[in-house]
Amino acid sequence: MTSSMRRDSSPWRADTALIWTLRLLAAAAAGIVLLILVFLLIESIPALRTIGLVRFFSDASWYPLSDRFNMAPMMAASLLVTVGAIALAIPLGFGSALFCRYYAPRWIAGAYRRMIEVLAGIPSVVFGFWGLVVLVPLVTHSLIAGILILALMILPTVALIADASLARVPEELIHGSAALGLTRWGMIRRVILPAARCGLMTSVILAVARAIGETMAVLMVCGNVVQMPKGLLDPVRTLTANIALEMAYATDTHRSALFVSGLLLMVIVGLLIAMAEWISKGRIYA
């Protein structure tokens, strides 16, 4: 700390003013996420106090207007949509990254990567709309519609981070395994994938974080019926969709219960980010 103070000190008064301004701005930027947590907590407290944690799982169902607050079906829906989307996005995303690095001719790889970047920039509401007019007529408002759309949306996250971590695999490893006479697939399976496993895992974790928090697309295609999903064709409502649907008219305890679900999302995402940071030991968005 003292060494940094000394290095930042300067004979110019303007410099001292500047560093304090910068510190203030940085503190403001860093404070936002704390502020979000504080607000979620404050707004959640009334519901946690009057309803209590247990009733979020033990109530008859989710009828917030007649004091029934069972969130379990929506948690299950969020979980299933996320798991399904990840199960689809991992092979497609890793396959895309491997395709770009080791299978495609150079110009195709460049074009393909550009396409994935474009896909990453398409707003979730547009994905949701496309799902609504194209997928829903085929598979109805259902869990599977949500899974398909969400898989498509997180595919770029998986593919781009996986691609970047494949790029960081040392050349010597690849040359060495080629010299040992490994086939291309043998090399990928035995050498490259193990070498890049930290980056690949990070890509999956960040994709999970993105999937569980996604709102608009699942809201538009999942049907939004609060029920324990029994099959892929059942309509479901996720936690995020529930917030978006009910926030408009929720008051008092009901509104506070929505903040509890927001807090729950934050906690899950926070744990995932901590895990990603722990795996990649430092900067996760490199």
Partner 1 sequence: MPDGVSRQGQHHRIREMLAVTCIWATAIVVSLTFGWILLDLLRHGLAHLSWAYLVESPSDAGRSGGIAPIIASTFLIVAVCMSIAVPIGIGTALLLAEYSVARSRFGRFVRRSLDALAAVPSIVFGLFGSTLFCIYLGMGFSILAGGLTLACMVLPIFIRTAEEGFRSVPDEYRRGAAALGISRSATLFKIIMPSAMPALVAGFVLGIGRALAETAALIFTSGYVDRMPESLFDSGRAMSVHIYDLAMNVPGGGKSAYRTALVLVAILLLINGSASWLMHRWVRHGAT
- For residue 275, the minimal CB distance to partner 1 (Å) is 11
- Name the segment binding partner 1 (CB under 8 A); options: 53-61, 162-170, 195-203, 215-223: 215-223
CA Rg value for the chain: 23
> Which secondary structure element, helix H or strand E, spans residue 181, and what is its range?
none
50 vs 112, beta carbon nearer partner 1: 112
* DSSP per position, 219-271: HHHSB---S---STTS-B--HHHHHHHHTTT--HHHHHHHHHHHHHHHHHHHH
List 64, 77, 85, 124, residue binding partner 1 (CB under 8 A)? 124
60 vs 167, beta carbon nearer partner 1: 167
φ and ψ at residue 69, rounded to 5 degrees: -130, 45
Q: Rule CB under 8 A: is residue 252 a binding residue for partner 1?
A: no
Site for partner 1 in 218-247 (CB under 8 A): 219-220, 240, 243-244, 247
Q: How far apart are CA 127 and CA 109, in angstroms?
A: 24
- For residue 60, the minimal CB distance to partner 1 (Å) is 26
30 vs 54, beta carbon nearer partner 1: 30
| Total interface residues for partner 1 by CB under 8 A | 93
φ and ψ at residue 152, rounded to 5 degrees: -65, -35
The 10 Å Cβ neighbour count of residue 147 is 26
Site for partner 1 in 49-108 (CB under 8 A): 91-92, 95-96, 98-99, 103-104
Q: Tokens 């030991």 label which residue?
A: 281
Mask 138-157, x = binds partner 1 (CB under 8 A)? --------------x--x--
φ and ψ at residue 142, rounded to 5 degrees: -160, 170
- For residue 84, the minimal CB distance to partner 1 (Å) is 16
Q: Tokens 């929506």 label which residue?
A: 74
Q: Rule CB under 8 A: is residue 134 a binding residue for partner 1?
A: yes
- For residue 282, the minimal CB distance to partner 1 (Å) is 9
What's the residue count for the chain? 286
- For residue 166, the minimal CB distance to partner 1 (Å) is 13
